[in-house]
């Protein structure tokens, strides 16, 4: 009799334990999916990694950063008391479909971010590998929630993809390239060592996001081209030659050399080895400022939505800044210092940095840095000290800054130290970028 009771008790205990295990297992499988902000940062990093691999031009790279961020932001801003939609504030963007109640907005936002990103790049294996790792983890945590969120995220992504394909990018792929002529001595000519054609001569035809037009913040005109020794233009040319020669005389360990290299951000650097031309892959100016945005977000410990907001506003500013700058570049068509110095002063002279393949005025890095610093100062405040370690993967040490504007000014003057821009392109470029940044801030009042 005792043995029978013992067996019954054992079976009953086993049954209870089995039920408890089942309940715990069900709870674990149906737990809400947690999406840390680092998952978003890593997605941005994967896009950067892909763009470096595929060697996208600076203007095109700005487009690749911007559209995925808009998709993610629009999802996170839904029914949010602090953030409002972009749909009435940037051109032609319609409201996205409302999210069903069973959707995890963070999951949907990352799904949309990744899917839109893949639409804009050539080889998506880096992004796809990361996405697969996320999706597998999320599905294991809560398959029902993941499926609903993914379905919604893809629905929003399709809406954003329809919108982005109407920005005139595809049409400009078939437009005529830059025409090289020699009838104007001040007109831009391709530069060594690769003598590449002018990059994106029709970028001013791309749809802006917030600017009324590409020419809205047309900068003050550069000094009139003249090779007269007393002319303002010739003095700027002579400054480039004098400054770079002095830097070279002082050696490679000077602060000016460190600044020039840190802010180089030229994805088109090429080196001749025998009969081969080998590209050295680097980030673009926009990528550098997206990296600074990430540093600021992490330093302030922003949550997922706030981080997406900061990255979205900054990427919109960078996108419109490139359109504004490229509009002026191919209006001015100004010759680079390297060409003039080699032809008229010193045929053996070379700049510290390799000259990028597009006209000189205004400085792209100056414009983008001015816009980015203005926006980031608005978001995080002035006198925001940070350590910029964006260039560490490229073998360059980090640099410390007391504010975003300090960093922007250093990025701008790096173009003189590098020998690739005249003074006017630098100074007027920063102002041009600041005007773009202020316009973005005044028109994208997204926080309530």
pLDDT at 426 > cutoff 60: yes
Task: Check whether residue 141 and residue 209 sit in a common domain.
Answer: no
pLDDT at 147 > cutoff 50: yes
pLDDT tens digits, one per residue of 396-421: 999 999 999 999 999 999 999 999 99
pLDDT at 27 > cutoff 70: no
pLDDT at 3 > cutoff 70: no
**Residue with more model confidence, 359 or 180:** 359
The predicted structure's pLDDT at residue 272: 56
| Residue 175 placed within a domain | no
Domain boundary among 144, 170, 196: 170
Task: State how many domains the chain has.
Answer: 2
7-22 burial, b if ≥16 CB within 10 A, otherwise e?
Answer: eeeeeeeeeeeeeeee
| Residue 14 placed within a domain | no
With H, G, I as helix, E, B as strand and everything else as coil, classify residue 446.
Answer: coil
Task: Check whether residue 293 and residue 402 sit in a common domain.
Answer: yes
DSSP summary character for residue 78:
T
pLDDT at 25 > cutoff 70: no
The predicted structure's pLDDT at residue 4: 42
- Among 63-77, 172-186, 195-209, the minimum mean pLDDT is found in 172-186
Task: Check whether residue 44 and residue 98 sit in a common domain.
Answer: yes
pLDDT at 144 > cutoff 50: yes
Task: Check whether residue 206 and residue 164 sit in a common domain.
Answer: no
Distance between CA atoms of residues 218 and 431, nearest Å? 10
- Split at pLDDT 50, 70, 90, the class of 20 is very low
The predicted structure's pLDDT at residue 153: 98
Of the candidates 15, 359, 318, 325, which has an alpha carbon nearest to the alpha carbon of residue 179? 359
Question: What does the DSSP assignment read for 291-320?
Answer: HHHHHHHHHTT--HHHHHHHHHHHHHHHHH
Distance between CA atoms of residues 143 and 104, nearest Å? 12
Mean local confidence (pLDDT), 75-85: 93
Mean local confidence (pLDDT), 177-192: 92
| Residue 9 placed within a domain | no
Domain boundaries, position 86: 37-170
Task: Check whether residue 204 and residue 154 sit in a common domain.
Answer: no
Task: Check whether residue 280 and residue 133 sit in a common domain.
Answer: no
Of the candidates 425, 368, 307, 254, which has an alpha carbon nearest to the alpha carbon of residue 45? 307
Task: Check whether residue 242 and residue 307 sit in a common domain.
Answer: yes
pLDDT tens digits, one per residue of 437-446: 999 999 998 7
Distance between CA atoms of residues 430 and 412, nearest Å? 7
pLDDT at 392 > cutoff 90: yes
Task: Check whether residue 253 and residue 314 sit in a common domain.
Answer: yes
pLDDT tens digits, one per residue of 236-286: 999 999 999 999 999 989 999 999 999 999 988 866 555 554 556 789 999
pLDDT at 373 > cutoff 60: yes
Q: What is the CATH number of the domain that holds 263?
A: 1.10.606.20
Distance between CA atoms of residues 233 and 422, nearest Å? 9
List the beta bridge partners of residue 397. none
Mean local confidence (pLDDT), 36-52: 96
| Residue 310 placed within a domain | yes
Task: Check whether residue 291 and residue 211 sit in a common domain.
Answer: yes
Task: Check whether residue 239 and residue 119 sit in a common domain.
Answer: no
- Split at pLDDT 50, 70, 90, the class of 18 is very low
| Residue 8 placed within a domain | no
**Mean predicted lDDT score pLDDT of the chain:** 92
Domain boundary among 170, 198, 229: 170
pLDDT over 70, % of the chain: 91
Task: Check whether residue 61 and residue 137 sit in a common domain.
Answer: yes
| Residue 153 placed within a domain | yes
The predicted structure's pLDDT at residue 124: 87
Mean local confidence (pLDDT), 1-26: 44
List the beta bridge partners of residue 277. 272
The predicted structure's pLDDT at residue 8: 43
The predicted structure's pLDDT at residue 269: 82
Task: Check whether residue 261 and residue 134 sit in a common domain.
Answer: no
């Amino acid at each position: 009799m005792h043995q029978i009771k013992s067996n019954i008790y054992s079976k009953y205990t086993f049954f209870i334990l089995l039920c408890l295990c089942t309940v715990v297992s069900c709870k674990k499988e149906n737990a809400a999916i947690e999406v840390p902000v680092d998952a978003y940062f890593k997605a941005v990093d994967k896009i950067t990694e892909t763009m470096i691999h595929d060697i996208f031009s600076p203007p095109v790279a700005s487009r690749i950063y911007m559209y995925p961020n808009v998709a993610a932001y629009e999802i996170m801003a839904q029914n949010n008391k602090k953030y409002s939609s972009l749909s009435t504030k940037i051109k032609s963007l319609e409201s996205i479909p409302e999210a069903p109640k069973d959707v995890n907005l963070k999951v949907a936002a990352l799904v949309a971010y990744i899917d839109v990103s893949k639409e804009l790049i050539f080889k998506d294996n880096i992004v796809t590998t990361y996405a697969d790792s996320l999706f597998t983890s999320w599905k294991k945590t809560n398959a029902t929630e993941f499926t609903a969120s993914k379905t919604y995220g893809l629905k929003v992504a399709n809406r954003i993809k329809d919108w982005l394909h109407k920005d005139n990018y595809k049409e400009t792929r078939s437009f005529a390239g830059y025409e090289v002529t020699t009838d104007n001595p001040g007109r831009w000519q391709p530069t060594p060592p690769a003598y590449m054609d002018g990059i994106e001569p029709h970028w001013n035809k791309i749809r802006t996001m917030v600017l009324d037009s590409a020419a809205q913040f047309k900068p003050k005109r550069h000094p009139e081209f003249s090779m007269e020794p007393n002319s303002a233009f010739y003095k700027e040319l002579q400054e480039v030659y004098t400054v770079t020669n002095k830097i070279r005389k002082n050696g490679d360990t000077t602060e000016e050399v460190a600044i020039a290299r840190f802010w180089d951000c030229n994805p088109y650097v090429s080196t001749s080895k025998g009969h081969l031309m080998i590209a050295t892959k680097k980030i673009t100016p926009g990528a550098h400022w997206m990296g600074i945005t990430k540093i600021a977000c992490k330093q302030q410990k922003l949550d997922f939505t706030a981080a997406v907001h900061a990255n979205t506003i900054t990427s919109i500013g960078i996108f419109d800044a490139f359109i504004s700058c490229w509009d002026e570049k191919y209006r001015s068509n100004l010759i680079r210092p390297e060409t003039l110095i080699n032809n008229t002063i010193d045929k053996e002279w070379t700049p510290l940095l390799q000259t990028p393949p597009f006209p000189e005025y205004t400085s792209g890095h100056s414009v983008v840095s001015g816009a980015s610093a203005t926006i980031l100062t608005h978001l995080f405040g002035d006198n925001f000290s940070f350590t910029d370690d964006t260039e560490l993967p490229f073998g360059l040490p980090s640099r410390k800054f007391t504010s975003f504007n300090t960093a922007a000014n250093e990025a701008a003057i790096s173009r003189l130290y590098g020998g690739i821009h005249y003074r006017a392109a630098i100074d007027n470029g920063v102002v041009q970028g600041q005007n773009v940044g202020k316009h973005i801030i005044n028109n994208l009042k997204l926080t309530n």
